Amino acid sequence: MIQQFEQGNLMPEKEWQNYIMQLEKESKPSNKEEVKKALIDAVKKRIPNKKFGIFFSGGVDSTTIAFLCKQNNADFTCYSVGLEGSPDLIEGKKAAEKLGLTLRQKKFTIKEAEEIFKKTAKLFDNPDPLNVGVGGVILAAVELAKEDKINTFFSGLGSEEIFAGYQRHAEAKDVHAECWRGLKEMWRRDFTRDYKIASALGIHALVPFLDEELIRKAMGISGDKKINGDHKKVILREISEELGVPKEFAWRKKKAAQYGSWFDKAMEKLAKKIRVNKVEYVKMLNKK
């Protein structure tokens, strides 16, 4: 199913939801070793026979993907963007140096970030701060990678849902049910945004965390093994560390892309400058 998306085609929403409901219906218990094997296979089988990029932040998702790609002797470059001093730039650089990864970064000024926001907003009929914030990070990284003639990227999309990485998972009465609900809603929340960006920029996104076998195995793990105290995505972090990813990156607490890059901070400042909120600011961008 997800291969359609990776090949640049957006499946109908109902088709995606039916697919997830069928996986939920067939769900059965699994263990850590099965999840680990499914993760390794999901990355390995997606490695292209050409140079590619990885959207990189130094968090557990992108670092684990990069680590597995390096183990497979793949030809890739990691890309990260953000305002100077942003956590994703700092931690991304640390992770790349520790693991010996090729990394390209770009530090944006607030003025440069606004240009990215303008370009991103124009991709949507009704842009909102989330789409422009997350989409802006993707667009900025893609523009950097296009200088290297790269148009295929590994993305961590789906990890938060199958491994319970959001605050709503921590607050849910039933972590497992919330993971399934989030997977069903990904079409509306994530796929439509990323599809528009990918289509407009002529890129392909590889999403190993949405591999069918990995979804099956990850969703066979009970919620208490995914969230424990202050930590979310516990089982993924354990697997990542067992594979060889340094503990500081496997267990790094990371915010979403728009926050880790400080693009959201830039948007907040730009909106405040003209005395509007972020929702109004983004709508204004689409009219410029």
pLDDT, tens digit, for every residue of 47-90?
999 999 999 999 999 999 999 999 999 999 999 999 999 999 99
Cα(256)–Cα(55) distance, integer angstroms: 13
Mean pLDDT of 100-114: 97
- Residue type for position 89: L
Within its chain, how far is the Cα of 207 from the centroid?
Answer: 9
CATH class of 2-285: alpha beta
Write a three-state SS string for 178-215.
HHHHHHHHHHHHHHHHHHHHHHHHCCEEECHHHCHHHH
Orientation angle between helical segments 129-146 and 192-201, nearest 10 degrees: 30
Say what the pLDDT of residue 54 is: 98
* C-beta of residue 245 within 8 angstroms of C-beta of residue 255: no
SS3 of residue 221 by DSSP: coil
Cα(113)–Cα(119) distance, integer angstroms: 10
Residue 287 CB contacts under 8 Å (≥ 6 apart), including other chains: none
Each residue of 274-285: pLDDT tens digit? 999 999 999 998
Each residue of 207-262: pLDDT tens digit? 999 999 999 999 999 999 999 878 999 999 999 999 999 999 999 987 888 999 99
Q: What is the DSSP letter of 121?
A: H
Cα(84)–Cα(76) distance, integer angstroms: 24
